[in-house]
Amino acid sequence: MALLLSLLTALVVFSAGPGGALGCDLPQDHVLLSRENLELLGQMSTISPFFCLKDRKNFRFPRAVVDGSQVQKAQAIAVLHEMLQQVSNLLSTENSSVTWNMTLVDQLRSGLHRQLEDLDICLVEEMGEEGSALAMQRPTLALKRYFQGVRLYLKEKEYSDCAWEVVRVEIRSSFFLTRALQERLRNKDGDMRSP
């Protein structure tokens, strides 16, 4: 439960870094947007996580995909893009409106969409060669499987309020895991390997 929460938080924090952190030009409002998205996630809570302890689940986030020492720059950007896309897809399910204030959900989806557009530009700049696309398949496939598990959990729990709260907390937790990846991308002279 805490893992997905860390992932979402770290992803938002990653995007809150300096405009040139990815090696491409992110708009200045990208930092502000990331912070706003994180705040929206916090505001979306409608149930105390303690009330939902019986519904906790270990979704087994694929930590290797965010290990900055093992991931190439283009892969890192692809992973972050895939995470944002998957979270956006989760929030777009009709059952997500059962638990949360739809105004907050719509604002968050809009912010995620803008961040995805920014990362699209970075991804194109970093990929360069066709071979890079193949190198990115494995990490993004692992993330797709992870989010498929989250979707199956929601379905098994019949999209209950507690299930959505567990997922919200998991998303925020899992963002924290991207911090090391973020630091590698910020440090141009670090160990991040070019494609």
* Domains along the sequence of the chain with CATH: 27-44+67-192 (1.20.1250.10)
Phi-psi region of 158 (alpha: psi -120 to 50; beta: other; left: phi over 0): left
Report the SS3 class of residue 22.
coil
State the alpha helices, DSSP H only, in the chain.
Answer: 2-15, 29-43, 73-91, 102-127, 130-156, 161-174, 179-186
Of the two residues 67 and 129, the one the predictor is more confident about is 67
Amino acid of residue 37: N
For the stretch 163-185, pLDDT in tens is 999 998 888 777 666 655 655 55
Whether 66 shows a pLDDT value over 90: the answer reads no
CA gap 42, 25 in Å, rounded = 28
Burial class of residue 189 in the structure, from the number of CB atoms within 10 Å of its CB (0-12 exposed, 13-18 middle, 19+ buried): exposed
Are the C-beta atoms of residues 50 and 164 closer than 8 Å to each other? no
Residue 29: per-residue pLDDT: 64
Q: What is the pLDDT of residue 97?
A: 66
Residue 1 pLDDT: 46
Give 67-104 pLDDT, tens digit per residue.
Answer: 756 667 777 778 888 888 999 999 888 787 677 888 99
The most confident of the ranges 9-18, 31-40, 106-115, 131-140 is 106-115
Nearest Cα residue to 77 out of 19, 120, 32 = 120
pLDDT (average), residues 111-135? 73
Report whether 5 contacts 170 (CB < 8 A).
Answer: yes
Measure the CA–CA gap between 118 and 56, rounded to whole angstroms: 33
1 compared with 136, residue with greater pLDDT: 136
142 pLDDT above the threshold of 70: yes
Instruction: For residues 15 and 29, give the distance between their C-alpha atoms in angstroms, rounded to a whole number.
Output: 10
Q: Is the pLDDT of residue 193 over 50?
A: no
Q: Can you read off the two tokens belonging to residue 88?
A: 């956006």
